[in-house]
Structure 1
Amino acid sequence: MKGSTLPINAKTKPRSILPGFGISLGFTIFYLCIIVLIPLAGVFIKTSGLSWDQFWHTVTNARVVASYRISFITAFAAAIVNLVFGLIIAWVLVRYRFPGKKLIDSLVDLPFALPTAVAGIALTAIYAPNGWIGSRLEPLGIKVAFTPLGITIALIFIGLPFVVRTVQPVLQDLEKDTEEAAVMLGAFRWRTFRRIILPELIPPLLTGFALAFARGIGEYGSVVFISGNMPMKTEIAPLLIMTKLEQYDYKGATAIALVMLVASFLLLLLINYLQWRSNRRVVTG
């Protein structure tokens, strides 16, 4: 009838060109199971072949505990450094215009493209006692290569892009009008940054920190050369896992990997919780 309107329901809505929710969800779960869950389940299944006493003896061995400590402490320290300097680099790339900006922006992604073994060899050559930088630090009593400091530098190198690329899009989306209004009302630049800009950046900063930290815990190629692989001093957990595999001690390797997996999962869960709290505070505030 002319002039009449018909109620719009689900049947009259145009169908989306994208696959339906059921198909998409099914594919997502299937893909995650094949790529993530089944391999991780293999770690648990292989470790289950050990008795509790054997498992506990393996993961609490002094050499294994030392490797855990080195891996987690250096990864955490590198992620903290990247958290600060990654924010500064992202800020400069977004807020300023200068010659060579595109070149610097592309260099940020170099650790992604560079093979980790190449990065490890290059860092070792530079920071070794006879290297370009190491030879200048040696008279000052600062030794980088074959120390935890060298491991931290290698992890800073490979983890920096995670923070920069996570923070950069958020900075680009932030409107400058609010900042300019705060400055015009008499707020100092530091207060404007702390009260207006920083709350918006906390979630991406936590995400970048989590990604850099997780990458650092499991990093092998760029660390194995510069660490020196000295047991109880500079031996990282991934290297110890490789050593166990070379000795055909598969259960021992999976036991060490299982502890790293659980610890990493708990830490990432904590960081995600803090990120959720930060997002909620920004929305409600």
Structure 2
Amino acid sequence: MKQFFLALLRSNRALPGYRLSLITTLLWAGLLIVLPLSTLLVRPWQDGVAAMLTALRDGRMFAALWTSFSCAATAAACNLPFGLMLAWALVRGQLPGRHVANALIDLPLALPTAVSGITLATLYSPNGWLGAPLSRLGILVSYNRLGIVVALMFVGLPFMVRAIEPVLRDLPHELEEAAQLLGAKPWQVFTRVIVAPLLPALVTGFGLAFARGIGEYGSVIFIAGNQPFRSEIAPLLIVVRLQEFDYAGATAIALILLVASLLVLLLVGMMRKRLALWSERA
């Protein structure tokens, strides 16, 4: 590490202040990102390997992790068609109030998660505006796993739309016109000319929405019901373990979520490169 910083100091760059700005950026990123993550990697093992193994044998933890992972994957998959349709409407459609709709898509990112959770729980409760007619049809949204999926769809939709929108905006219209002139059917134009170049963006949106979903807390706990082994999410179980002073159990769950998020982002990066190469060859 010392040799690395010495090499930075000796390097000659044409950009004024390059070395100072680079060192400042590395130090700032290390303090805000690397140090907390490294602490989380080390903390679960401070109480000994036996305590960590005991925490990892918790059946309630695995049930909560399964709830978080399965609901996050379901919500991200459901957001794929909705995100594509919204991005298409924003880019290709001439809708009135398009700028308002564009701002509303980013609202889940700016809205406090607790406000989102209370709003969703109120709307989808058995007496709510949307929950009452659905309950008469036998569909109960609040206080079960379906409510978790709805909440995660709400917070994950902006990631999907913003990942697809710029790629769709840069997609030339001439490709679709050429395919139609060559006799391609509408479904062939959609799948081979439009969706194929969007595959890296779709994978990116899915990965970001999934990674956000497995760690979401505030917007879920009000609508989930929080029943152990049924609708309890992993972030909530972390809070429960901390309240019980079970720091080994809490950090074990946090470590699993951290590793899962990192693996998802690495997998998304590899799939993006492969799909980009495939679309270029096609």
| TM-score between both structures, scaled by the size of structure 1 | 0.89
Aligned position for 2:140: 143
> 2:196 matched to 1:199?
yes
Match of 2:7 in 1: none
- Matched residue type, 1:130: N
- 1:266 is matched with 263
Q: Determine if the alignment matches structure 1 residue 222 to structure 2 residue 219.
A: yes
Query: Cα offset for 1:235?
Result: 0.7
Q: Within 1, Cα distance between the matches of 2:53 and 2:180?
A: 59
Tell me by how many angstroms 1:155 deviates.
Answer: 0.4
Alignment check: 8 A CA contact 1:59 1:259 kept: no
Q: What are the residue-to-residue correspondences of 1:76-95 with 2, within 5 Å?
A: 76-95=73-92
C-alpha distance in 2, partners of 1:269/1:98? Answer: 37
Runs of 4+ in 1 over 6 A off after TM superposition: none
Does structure 1 residue 275 correspond to structure 2 residue 272?
Answer: yes
Bigger CA radius of gyration: 1
CA shift, 1:26, in A, is 3.4
Q: Which of the numbers 32, 37, 44 marks the counterpart of 2:41? A: 44
> 1:5 — aligned with what?
none
Shift of 1:29: 3.0
How does 1:69-108 map onto structure 2 within 5 Å? Answer: 69-108=66-105
Structure 1 residue 146 displacement after superposition:
0.6
State the Cα RMSD in Å: 1.7
Residue type of the partner of 1:81? C
The alignment status of 1:126 with 2:123, answered yes or no, reads: yes
Q: Deviations over 1:253-282 (max 9, x none)?
A: 111111121222223322221111111222
Query: How many angstroms apart in 2 are the aligned matches of 1:157 and 1:34?
Result: 32
Matched, 1:170 2:171: no
**1:199–1:54: structure 2 CA closer, same or farther, 3 Å change rule?**
same
Structure 1 stretch 134-143 or stretch 200-209: which is displaced more? 134-143
Mapped partners of 2:135, 2:182: distance in 1: 52
Q: Which moved more, 1:113-122 or 1:186-195?
A: 186-195
Counterpart of 2:280, as a letter, is: V
Q: How many residues align?
A: 270
Aligned counterparts of 2:115 and 2:167: Cα–Cα separation in 1: 32
Which residues of structure 2 form unaligned runs of 5+?
Answer: 1-12
Counterpart for residue 248 of structure 2: 251
Counterpart in the other structure of 2:5? none
Q: CA deviation at 1:130?
A: 1.6
| Structure 1: stretches of 5+ with no match in the other structure | 1-13
CA contact (8 A) 1:68 1:236 kept: yes
- Asked whether 1:180 is paired with 2:177, we answer yes
Identity within the alignment, %: 47
- Residue 59 of structure 2 corresponds to 62
TM-score (ref. length: structure 2)? 0.90
Check conservation: 2:215, 2:235, Cα contact below 8 A: yes
Residues 180, 146 of structure 1: alpha-carbon distance in 2 compared, 3 angstrom cutoff:
same
Deviates more, 1:159-168 or 1:244-253: 244-253
